[in-house]
Amino acid sequence: MLSIDLLLAWGATYKKVARNEIIFQEGGIVNFYYQLVHGRVRWVNIDEEGKEFIQMVVEDGESFGEIPLFDDGAFAATAIADEDSTIIRLHKSHFLALIQTDREILFAFTKLFAERLRFRFMLTKELALYSPEHKISSLLNYLKQSKRHTCPESNLIKLTRQQIADMTGLRVETVIRTIRYLCNKGKVSIQKGKVYCSNISLLPG
Protein backbone atom coordinates (compact mmCIF):
# COMPACT_ATOMS: atom_id res chain seq x y z
CA MET A 1 0.00 0.00 0.00
CA LEU A 2 2.52 2.62 1.19
CA SER A 3 6.21 2.30 0.44
CA ILE A 4 8.37 0.99 3.27
CA ASP A 5 10.84 3.87 2.82
CA LEU A 6 8.04 6.43 3.18
CA LEU A 7 6.71 4.78 6.33
CA LEU A 8 10.18 4.59 7.87
CA ALA A 9 10.79 8.24 7.04
CA TRP A 10 7.68 9.11 9.05
CA GLY A 11 8.82 7.09 12.05
CA ALA A 12 7.36 3.62 11.42
CA THR A 13 8.88 0.58 13.11
CA TYR A 14 9.00 -3.12 12.29
CA LYS A 15 7.42 -5.75 14.50
CA LYS A 16 7.69 -9.53 14.19
CA VAL A 17 4.67 -11.63 15.16
CA ALA A 18 4.52 -15.38 15.63
CA ARG A 19 1.98 -17.72 14.05
CA ASN A 20 -1.43 -17.41 15.77
CA GLU A 21 -0.33 -14.28 17.64
CA ILE A 22 -3.08 -11.64 18.00
CA ILE A 23 -1.95 -8.30 16.56
CA PHE A 24 -5.02 -6.39 17.72
CA GLN A 25 -8.49 -7.35 18.89
CA GLU A 26 -11.99 -6.36 17.82
CA GLY A 27 -13.23 -3.54 20.05
CA GLY A 28 -9.72 -2.37 20.91
CA ILE A 29 -8.49 1.20 20.58
CA VAL A 30 -6.35 1.99 17.54
CA ASN A 31 -2.91 3.50 18.02
CA PHE A 32 -1.17 2.49 14.78
CA TYR A 33 -1.47 2.08 11.05
CA TYR A 34 -0.57 -1.54 10.19
CA GLN A 35 0.91 -2.93 6.98
CA LEU A 36 2.10 -6.46 6.29
CA VAL A 37 5.71 -6.68 5.10
CA HIS A 38 6.02 -10.43 4.88
CA GLY A 39 3.89 -13.35 5.98
CA ARG A 40 0.13 -13.78 6.22
CA VAL A 41 -2.52 -12.25 8.47
CA ARG A 42 -6.20 -13.06 8.75
CA TRP A 43 -8.66 -10.34 9.75
CA VAL A 44 -11.62 -11.97 11.49
CA ASN A 45 -14.71 -11.63 13.63
CA ILE A 46 -15.05 -14.32 16.31
CA ASP A 47 -18.37 -15.43 17.78
CA GLU A 48 -19.08 -16.56 21.34
CA GLU A 49 -18.25 -20.16 20.45
CA GLY A 50 -14.87 -19.19 19.02
CA LYS A 51 -15.85 -19.66 15.36
CA GLU A 52 -14.09 -17.27 13.03
CA PHE A 53 -15.62 -15.37 10.13
CA ILE A 54 -12.84 -14.15 7.86
CA GLN A 55 -13.25 -10.60 6.63
CA MET A 56 -9.97 -10.63 4.75
CA VAL A 57 -6.73 -12.56 4.36
CA VAL A 58 -3.94 -9.98 4.17
CA GLU A 59 -1.13 -10.35 1.64
CA ASP A 60 2.36 -8.84 1.58
CA GLY A 61 2.24 -5.07 1.15
CA GLU A 62 -1.41 -4.71 2.19
CA SER A 63 -2.69 -2.62 5.06
CA PHE A 64 -5.28 -3.77 7.59
CA GLY A 65 -7.27 -2.32 10.48
CA GLU A 66 -7.43 1.17 8.97
CA ILE A 67 -11.12 1.99 9.57
CA PRO A 68 -10.64 3.43 13.11
CA LEU A 69 -7.91 5.72 11.79
CA PHE A 70 -10.61 7.53 9.83
CA ASP A 71 -13.66 7.36 12.12
CA ASP A 72 -12.03 7.26 15.61
CA GLY A 73 -13.96 4.11 16.46
CA ALA A 74 -12.72 0.79 17.77
CA PHE A 75 -11.26 -2.03 15.69
CA ALA A 76 -14.04 -3.73 13.70
CA ALA A 77 -12.29 -7.12 13.63
CA THR A 78 -9.38 -9.05 15.15
CA ALA A 79 -6.08 -9.48 13.30
CA ILE A 80 -4.21 -12.78 13.81
CA ALA A 81 -0.95 -13.91 12.22
CA ASP A 82 -1.57 -16.97 10.02
CA GLU A 83 2.16 -17.66 10.02
CA ASP A 84 5.32 -16.06 11.37
CA SER A 85 5.11 -12.56 9.92
CA THR A 86 6.69 -9.14 9.86
CA ILE A 87 4.55 -6.03 10.01
CA ILE A 88 5.39 -2.36 9.92
CA ARG A 89 3.36 0.10 11.97
CA LEU A 90 3.14 3.86 12.09
CA HIS A 91 1.67 5.79 15.00
CA LYS A 92 -1.83 7.11 14.31
CA SER A 93 -0.86 10.77 14.69
CA HIS A 94 1.99 10.38 12.21
CA PHE A 95 -0.23 8.50 9.76
CA LEU A 96 -2.90 11.22 9.82
CA ALA A 97 -0.24 13.86 9.28
CA LEU A 98 1.18 11.84 6.37
CA ILE A 99 -2.07 11.47 4.43
CA GLN A 100 -2.74 15.19 4.77
CA THR A 101 0.50 15.95 2.95
CA ASP A 102 -0.32 13.94 -0.17
CA ARG A 103 -3.71 13.93 -1.88
CA GLU A 104 -2.72 10.86 -3.94
CA ILE A 105 -2.26 8.78 -0.78
CA LEU A 106 -5.67 9.83 0.51
CA PHE A 107 -7.22 8.93 -2.85
CA ALA A 108 -5.50 5.54 -2.77
CA PHE A 109 -7.12 4.76 0.58
CA THR A 110 -10.50 5.92 -0.73
CA LYS A 111 -10.14 3.50 -3.65
CA LEU A 112 -9.06 0.72 -1.28
CA PHE A 113 -12.13 1.21 0.90
CA ALA A 114 -14.39 1.21 -2.17
CA GLU A 115 -12.88 -2.08 -3.43
CA ARG A 116 -13.31 -3.74 -0.04
CA LEU A 117 -16.86 -2.44 0.31
CA ARG A 118 -17.74 -3.80 -3.14
CA PHE A 119 -16.38 -7.21 -2.10
CA ARG A 120 -18.45 -7.15 1.09
CA PHE A 121 -21.61 -6.31 -0.91
CA MET A 122 -20.90 -9.24 -3.24
CA LEU A 123 -20.26 -11.65 -0.40
CA THR A 124 -23.29 -10.48 1.60
CA LYS A 125 -25.54 -11.06 -1.42
CA GLU A 126 -24.07 -14.51 -1.95
CA LEU A 127 -24.54 -15.49 1.70
CA ALA A 128 -28.15 -14.34 1.71
CA LEU A 129 -29.43 -15.58 -1.64
CA TYR A 130 -27.51 -18.43 -3.18
CA SER A 131 -26.51 -22.07 -2.91
CA PRO A 132 -23.09 -23.24 -1.68
CA GLU A 133 -22.08 -23.95 -5.29
CA HIS A 134 -22.89 -20.38 -6.33
CA LYS A 135 -21.24 -18.88 -3.24
CA ILE A 136 -17.97 -20.70 -3.76
CA SER A 137 -17.99 -20.16 -7.53
CA SER A 138 -18.50 -16.42 -7.05
CA LEU A 139 -15.78 -16.21 -4.41
CA LEU A 140 -13.25 -18.10 -6.55
CA ASN A 141 -14.19 -16.01 -9.58
CA TYR A 142 -13.65 -12.82 -7.58
CA LEU A 143 -10.26 -14.03 -6.36
CA LYS A 144 -9.23 -14.93 -9.90
CA GLN A 145 -10.37 -11.63 -11.40
CA SER A 146 -8.86 -9.50 -8.65
CA LYS A 147 -5.65 -11.58 -8.62
CA ARG A 148 -5.98 -12.11 -4.87
CA HIS A 149 -4.84 -15.34 -3.23
CA THR A 150 -4.28 -16.97 -6.62
CA CYS A 151 -1.14 -17.78 -8.56
CA PRO A 152 -1.37 -15.81 -11.87
CA GLU A 153 0.55 -18.46 -13.81
CA SER A 154 -1.29 -21.57 -12.63
CA ASN A 155 -4.54 -20.18 -11.11
CA LEU A 156 -3.75 -22.05 -7.89
CA ILE A 157 -6.04 -20.97 -5.05
CA LYS A 158 -3.87 -20.12 -2.05
CA LEU A 159 -6.69 -20.34 0.49
CA THR A 160 -7.39 -23.51 2.44
CA ARG A 161 -10.82 -25.09 2.44
CA GLN A 162 -11.19 -23.99 6.06
CA GLN A 163 -10.46 -20.38 5.09
CA ILE A 164 -13.00 -20.55 2.28
CA ALA A 165 -15.52 -21.89 4.81
CA ASP A 166 -14.71 -19.07 7.22
CA MET A 167 -15.16 -16.49 4.46
CA THR A 168 -18.50 -17.83 3.24
CA GLY A 169 -20.08 -18.97 6.50
CA LEU A 170 -20.28 -22.55 5.23
CA ARG A 171 -19.17 -25.68 7.03
CA VAL A 172 -15.80 -26.96 5.89
CA GLU A 173 -17.42 -30.28 4.97
CA THR A 174 -19.78 -28.38 2.66
CA VAL A 175 -16.85 -26.56 1.06
CA ILE A 176 -14.99 -29.84 0.46
CA ARG A 177 -18.07 -31.46 -1.05
CA THR A 178 -18.87 -28.41 -3.22
CA ILE A 179 -15.32 -28.05 -4.55
CA ARG A 180 -15.36 -31.72 -5.46
CA TYR A 181 -18.67 -31.14 -7.27
CA LEU A 182 -17.21 -28.15 -9.15
CA CYS A 183 -14.25 -30.31 -10.10
CA ASN A 184 -16.55 -32.98 -11.52
CA LYS A 185 -18.26 -30.28 -13.60
CA GLY A 186 -14.91 -29.04 -14.93
CA LYS A 187 -15.15 -25.67 -13.15
CA VAL A 188 -12.02 -26.26 -11.07
CA SER A 189 -9.31 -28.89 -10.99
CA ILE A 190 -7.78 -30.62 -7.97
CA GLN A 191 -4.19 -31.79 -8.10
CA LYS A 192 -2.51 -33.32 -5.05
CA GLY A 193 -5.15 -31.72 -2.85
CA LYS A 194 -4.64 -28.23 -4.30
CA VAL A 195 -7.43 -26.35 -6.08
CA TYR A 196 -6.94 -24.61 -9.43
CA CYS A 197 -9.60 -22.30 -10.82
CA SER A 198 -8.63 -21.85 -14.50
CA ASN A 199 -12.16 -22.66 -15.74
CA ILE A 200 -14.21 -21.01 -12.99
CA SER A 201 -16.96 -18.63 -14.08
CA LEU A 202 -19.20 -16.29 -12.09
CA LEU A 203 -22.37 -18.29 -12.49
CA PRO A 204 -22.26 -22.03 -11.86
CA GLY A 205 -24.15 -24.10 -14.33
Query: CATH number for the domain including 188?
Result: 1.10.10.10
Query: Would the CA dihedral through 71, 72, 78, 80 be positive or negative?
Result: positive
Residue-level pLDDT at 139 = 87
| 41-46 and 32-38 beta bridge pairing | unpaired
95 and 165 assigned to the same domain: no
- The helix/strand/coil state of 158 is coil
Residue-level pLDDT at 204 = 41
180 and 110 assigned to the same domain: no
Residue-level pLDDT at 123 = 78
Residue-level pLDDT at 200 = 64
**Domain that includes residue 31, residue range:** 4-115
Residue-level pLDDT at 105 = 93
Q: Is residue 201 part of a domain?
A: no
Ranges under pLDDT 70 in the chain: 199-205
Residue-level pLDDT at 86 = 98
Q: CB neighbours of 59 closer than 8 A, spacing ≥ 6?
A: 36, 40, 148, 149
26 and 67 assigned to the same domain: yes
The count of structural domains within the chain is 2
Residue-level pLDDT at 201 = 60
HSE-CB for 110 with a 13 A CA cutoff: 7
94 and 152 assigned to the same domain: no
Q: Is residue 203 part of a domain?
A: no
Neighbouring CB atoms inside 10 A of 41's CB total: 25
